[in-house]
Structure 1
């Protein structure tokens, strides 16, 4: 597979992942972190890192909106629940540096 095709396929897979996460608002970021080691915020940070590496201006707010499909604060107020003590303990144990 050539590099251009691989990049196009990776971009399509990323867009599908982002679309899926936008639909699954019931899945909390802390659950993603505890199960998979990354969350929507990680994806938005990786997007910003990629933009920075290319010299493309993309703010943290813009990268989060690209992943969440709306301003982050709007998403938080609409969909983010309060983490349970068990979720917080699992997060602390598995991702103490995150």
Structure 2
């Protein structure tokens, strides 16, 4: 069993390095969620704006709320993406 210890340690390091590599490539789940939510809200906003442009009755509060939501989500996504890219850069320097 003493001979297996170095092999186990190497396997452990290999697994840890693989996980780090995957985390450097994969977009964080929260960022993916924000991007998806932003696209959904943007489409909704564009649909409501088209309705307004077509002369349909649209509540200005709905337009304002949607625009604010898109802006808030975009800002949050930019901050999160910046932090993720900084972490990737730091991790790559270490590796």
**Which TM-score applies when normalising by structure 1?**
0.30
TM-score by length of 2: 0.31
Higher relative CO (CA 8 A, sep ≥ 6), structure 1 or 2? 2
Larger radius of gyration: 2
